[in-house]
Amino acid sequence: MADAGAVRKRQRGGLDQLPGGAIRVRVYAGIDPVTKRRLYLTEVVPPGPKAARQAEAVRTRMLNEVNERRSPRTNATVSQLLTKYLDIFDSDRGTLQKYRGYIRNHIEPFIGQVKVGALDADILDSLYAELRRCRTHCDGRPHLDHRTAAAHVCDDRCRRHQCRPLGATTIRHMHFILSGAYKRAVRWRWVAVNPVGQAEPPAAPAPDPQPPSPEDAARMLNASWSDPDWGTFVWLAMLTGARRGELCALRWLHVDLDRQVLTVRRSIAQDEEGLREKDTKTHQRRHIALDPETVAVMREHFVRCNERAEMLGVDLSQNSGSPHLSVGSVMVSPPQQR
């Protein structure tokens, strides 16, 4: 009977001698949860008198890399890591809701149950490839995209499904979510290395602004003046370049017509809980100089606000700077007096 101590364990990793004398090192690294294929780390050692020794060193290094990812201090999953990360993530409520939607719809279905230490660049590259294939993650078989999930009779609004990829910016957002979560995991010593830095998200799309031509802008402005309030809003949007939410949050408190300055400091956002007021996207206030024509437009608008205030029985002298009377909606409080 053979001595138990003499039984050799099966060697992990393989060394393949190539025809030119080089040695290919292969180490098994698990199953890809997206494609369900077996993953291998491979590296080729060039031929030479020390090739065999170098191949053994490469195999040992690759085995250590696999072990570092497979033997973390925790058995937590990627889903649990992301939940904990977002709980301490300091950001606007709307951004958090968007990130949770990305995780729920695109990350958790594929890698949510993967152990934190088992994720690597190969798995992430497979995930990004799937996101670029179809945003609904269909199985590739022909089917209809129904107009509603409720019981109905199909008509021409229920169309044949056509795969549409997610945008590069959206995929990059998910890459940054995972990167931030794994930076925390390294700090918490859940894993030894951050695998997200080795994956390659899509390149950032080049900016391609397409503003209207001067002729089209003039036509839009002329059409908008059929409603003077709407015309004022469109005029400010074109002349100041402010975002829609920023214009909706403007108050007369932020407008100094004597000094011809408009201050953008707040914004209106809409989410699952309804409308709310928040900081600007950059969390900074901006001072915008107004030209004489814009000042004249704003003064005419203030006259209309005065007329509405009198009809409503509002004493503007007591409501100057009221936070509830905005330029972007009711617009009935007077400009700030200095």
pLDDT means per 10 residues, the chain with 338 residues, are 48 84 86 72 88 90 74 75 91 87 94 89 92 89 86 88 91 95 89 87 86 91 91 91 89 87 88 82 89 92 83 62 44 40
Residues 187 and 221 in one domain: no
Residues 98 and 116 in one domain: yes
Residues 83 and 63 in one domain: no
Residue identified by tokens 């795969």 is 163
Question: Smallest Cα–Cα separation from 250: which of 326, 150, 335, 155?
Answer: 326
Residues 225 and 277 in one domain: yes
Residues 84 and 189 in one domain: yes
Q: Please say which residue of 40, 70, 100 terminates a domain.
A: 70
Per-residue pLDDT, 219: 93
Q: Residue 219: which H helix or E strand, with range?
A: helix 214-224
Q: And the tokens for 216? A: 């089209």
Q: And the tokens for 317? A: 């002298």
Residues 90 and 121 in one domain: yes
| Domain count of the fold of the chain | 3
Residues 220 and 310 in one domain: yes
Domain that holds residue 288: 214-318
Domain assignment of residue 55, yes or no: yes
Tell me the sheet residues that pair with 157: none
Q: Specify whether the CB–CB gap between 302 and 334 falls below 8 A.
A: yes
Residues 180 and 256 in one domain: no
Task: Using alpha carbons, list the distances in angstroms from residue 135 to 100, 108, 314.
Answer: 16, 14, 52
Per-residue pLDDT, 293: 92
Phi, psi torsion values for 51, nearest 5 degrees: -60, -40
Alpha-carbon distance 245 to 45, whole Å? 58
Question: Smallest Cα–Cα separation from 128: which of 28, 39, 35, 31?
Answer: 35
CATH classification at residue 226: 1.10.443.10
Per-residue pLDDT, 125: 92
| Phi/psi-derived region of residue 30, left when phi > 0, alpha when psi is between -120 and 50, beta in every other case | left
SS3 content of the chain, % helix, strand, coil (to 5): 45, 15, 40
CATH classification at residue 186: 1.10.150
Per-residue pLDDT, 316: 54
Q: Please say which residue of 22, 43, 70 terminates a domain.
A: 70
Q: How many CB atoms lie within 10 A of CB 114?
A: 19
Per-residue pLDDT, 332: 37
Residues 191 and 89 in one domain: yes
Per-residue pLDDT, 321: 47
Spacing of C-alpha 143 from chain mean position? 29
Per-residue pLDDT, 331: 42
Non-local (6+) Cβ contacts of 3 within 8 A are: none
Q: And the tokens for 223? A: 């059409």
DSSP single-letter state for residue 73 = S
